[in-house]
Amino acid sequence: MSDLGHVLVLAGGLSYEREVSLRSGRRVSEVLRAAGIDVETRDTDASLVPSILADPPDAVFVTLHGGAGEDGAIRSVLELLGVPYVGADPDACRVAFDKPTAKAVVRSVGLHTPQSVTLPKETFHDLGATVVLGRIVERLGLPLFVKPAQGGSALGASIVRTAEELPAAMVGCFAYGDTALIERYVEGVEVAVSVVDLGHGPVALPPVEIVPDEGVYDYAARYTAGHTEFFAPARLAPEIAAACAETAVTAHTALGLRDVSRTDLIVDASGQPYFLEVNVAPGMTETSLLPMAAEAAGQDLGDLCRILLTQAASRARS
């Protein structure tokens, strides 16, 4: 049994990733109950704040993906309420959630990240789409990868292999956000490295290799069982796996993250890891990468979540 009185798991929200968040919340709630913890699961609606004020939890586990769950907004409200929570504080979330900003931070500490251009929709239209897109192809080359500057689950993201595909990719991207991040596409092995801090500093869990059936790790490939093959640990040479782990821990530290994060990487043919983005509220579903990494490390997921919640509660008491 746990010495935590009761904990709150936040899941749902109103982002495009609501359904994934609900699945993550269910999984976390299940493993915590199995670990002997009194768990309440709630959505982020108008009843949330009165509920917390009436019966403050010992700690909150945030499984909200995208939007308010990862941009620091909900965590700011939790801080106003004086409720401890697992994960990065609002300021660090805001930096990590914006992919171009996160790329700039990790580049400043020596990590490799694909060359890119960031374009708000207004700039794209005002300056003339055809001319701007032509310069992007000329400057970055092909293939490219287009994705919203904020958000996750590969929504609005696509690979562009010819110049003719770029306009449609931009339109698809802008359907999910007002700013597009256009990166030079790096061919290689896709790897996710989860980082946890269980009280002795951030440590990387075994890297997970991602091999989607259709070659693209899109929304369906992420959340539909059987659409992607995973290898945990990744099929990497020991020195390359170590470089991936070091990259993820360096990104976690440079971005000021706390407790848990997941860094997405591409390892090119030479074995060089490239930072793509970081997630401050990693998915916890049956097909999510952090639970796979924890299992590969021999770490019980319920025990890991319990330790993180206990740490959060301890921070508040101290």
**How does DSSP assign 204-218, residue by residue?**
EPPPEEEEETTSS--
Please compute the mean of the pLDDT values over residues 126-133 and round it to a whole number. Answer: 79
Residue with tokens 């000021």: 256
Pairwise pLDDT comparison (215 vs 9), residue with the higher score: 9
- Report residue 155's pLDDT band, with 50, 70 and 90 as the boundaries: confident
Q: Indicate the average pLDDT of the chain.
A: 92
Question: What is the rounded CA–CA span in Å between residue 265 and residue 53?
Answer: 40
Q: Where are the domains of the chain?
A: 7-87, 116-184, 187-279
Of 239, 246, 149, 248, residue with least CA distance to 195: 248
> 140-170 burial, b for 16+ CB within 10 Å, e for fewer?
beeebbbbbbbbbbbbbbbebeeeebbeebb
Do the domains at 116-184 and 187-279 have one common CATH topology?
Answer: no
From the list 15, 21, 29, 288, the catalytic residue is 288
51 is annotated as an active-site residue:
no
Q: For residue 49, is pLDDT > 70?
A: yes
Q: For residue 196, is pLDDT > 60?
A: yes
The response to whether 264 counts as a known ligand-binding position is yes
From the list 21, 29, 153, 194, the catalytic residue is 153
Residue 1: what pLDDT? 40
Please compute the mean of the pLDDT values over residues 260-276 and round it to a whole number. Answer: 98
Nearest-Å Rg of the Cα atoms of the chain is: 19
Residue 4: what pLDDT? 87
CATH T-level topology, domain 116-184: Dna Ligase; domain 1 (3.30.1490)
Q: For residue 151, is pLDDT > 50?
A: yes
The response to whether 277 counts as a known ligand-binding position is yes
17 is annotated as an active-site residue:
yes
Residue 2: what pLDDT? 53
Label each residue of 119-179 as H, E or C. EEHHHHHHCCHHHHHHHHHHHHCCCEEEEECCCCCCCCCEEECCHHHHHHHHHHHHCCCCE
Please compute the mean of the pLDDT values over residues 145-168 and round it to a whole number. Answer: 89
From the list 2, 15, 17, 261, the catalytic residue is 17
CATH T-level topology, domain 187-279: D-amino Acid Aminotransferase; Chain A, domain 1 (3.30.470)
Q: Which of 149-153, 219-223, 252-256 has the highest mean pLDDT?
A: 252-256
pLDDT tens by residue, 242-255: 999 999 999 999 99
Q: For residue 202, is pLDDT > 60?
A: yes
Please compute the mean of the pLDDT values over residues 45-64 and round it to a whole number. Answer: 96
Residue 244: what pLDDT? 98
Domain 7-87: state its class. alpha beta
Q: How many degrees, rounded to 5, is the angle at CA 205 between CA 221 and CA 193? A: 45
261 is annotated as an active-site residue:
no
The response to whether 91 counts as a known ligand-binding position is no
Please compute the mean of the pLDDT values over residues 34-57 and round it to a whole number. Answer: 95
The pTM of this model reads: 0.93
Residue with tokens 């301890």: 314
Q: For residue 14, is pLDDT > 90?
A: no
Question: What is the rounded CA–CA span in Å between residue 55 and residue 63?
Answer: 20
